[in-house]
Amino acid sequence: MAGIRKYMDIQPGRLWRGLMLIWLTLALAVAAQASADAGLPFSQGRLFRIGKPGAAPSHVFGTMHSDDQRVLSLPAPVRQAFDSAETVALELDLGPAAMAASMAGMLLTDGRELRDVVGDELYAQTVEAVAGIGMPEMAIRKFKPWGVAMLLSMPPIDSGRFLDLALYQSAKAQGKTVKGLETAAEQLAVFDGLSEPDQIEILQEALANRHLFDRMFKEMTDAYLQGDLGALVRLNEKYGAGDSAAGQRLQERLLDKRNKLMVKRLIPLLGKGNIFVAIGALHLPGKNGILYLLKERGFKVKSVH
């Protein structure tokens, strides 16, 4: 365990961003389902003004969980909306306690090790794969299968200061109130609620498809920077996100439910006005997306940038 803790201490950005990237990848499949309807609502833009009589306008900004400098460089309208807001709402309050809880939640706590769960053959394949991202075997021995799949499902990182974390740190530095729309426990429960066979299947998929991830995230980044949420949806069709039965079950467990939960928690905040909301971009488009759900609840939604 000491070796695991040492690795986790020096890699918090990798572990946390991996969790967020899994949400982004899975969200593609939900948006693709929405696109099968008559068009894809809110398919363009990253920043949206949210208004309702009696409250100052607020903004919803679609993020990408990336430390790419192009992603971190906020366009002027986004920076203005952020700086003028009194409160910043994120998917999670990215404070130390939440990050520690998230990382600890990836570890087995019942005395078993990863090898005991996945078997010798798959374990050997996993050890070989994680060596390719600079992780020693010792560091993954206590990981849950979904946790290792998360680590494999992302490209190399630079600083680890991904966009959501940068916004959190900026909000704190400016003395803003920061709200989390979910807890780390709620997000981790999605994965922990999967059966071990489903977790193993997800790990197998990550091992089989890891050669595609760099290209996929490059194309996702390009689409994101253009504000083309529709293109992000089409990437799902290209790369087949969520095709497996386990992947479908994982999507069904939380994505629509998460959007509804976040909207429910957003409504009282938006009622106060002058809120800057930063949520993964693929939670925004489509009839199951956050923007459409807000519109259904009487809010005016307008693309700003």
% pLDDT > 70, the chain: 80
Which ranges in the chain belong to alpha helices (H)? 2-10, 12-35, 69-72, 76-84, 96-104, 114-118, 120-131, 137-140, 145-152, 163-173, 184-192, 196-225, 229-239, 245-272, 290-296
Look up the pTM and report it: 0.85
DSSP 43: -
Would you say 57 and 51 are in contact if contact means Cβ atoms under 8 Å apart?
yes
Q: What residue type is 255 in one-letter code?
A: L
Distance between CA atoms of residues 304 and 48, nearest Å: 5
227: CB partners within 8 A, 6+ apart:
44, 45, 46, 305
The pLDDT score that the predictor gives to residue 2 is: 40
In the 8-state DSSP scheme, what is residue 58? Answer: E
Residue-wise pLDDT tens digits, 249-277? 666 666 677 889 999 999 999 999 999 99
pLDDT for residue 32: 46
Other C-beta atoms closer than 10 Å to the C-beta of 146 total: 24
Quick: pLDDT tens for 120-145. Answer: 999 999 999 999 888 899 999 999 99
**C-alpha–C-alpha distance, residues 190 and 192, integer Å:** 6
DSSP, collapsed to helix, strand or coil, labels residue 302 as strand
Whether the per-residue pLDDT at 13 is higher than 60: the answer is no
pLDDT, tens digit, 9 for 90 and up, residues 233-247: 777 667 654 556 655
Q: Which residue has the higher pLDDT, 295 or 20?
A: 295
* Percent of residues, the chain, with pLDDT higher than 90: 49
DSSP string, 95-106: SHHHHHHHHHTT
pLDDT in tens, 68-77: 999 999 999 9
Mean pLDDT of 160-165: 85
Secondary element (H or E) of residue 228:
none
Q: How confident is the model at residue 38 (pLDDT cuts 50, 70, 90)?
A: very low
pLDDT at 102 over 50: yes
Taking 60 as the threshold, does the pLDDT of residue 89 lie above it?
A: yes
Phi, psi (5° rounding) for residue 172?
-65, -40
First to last CA, the chain: 47
Query: Contact 65/162 with Cβ under 8 angstroms?
Result: yes
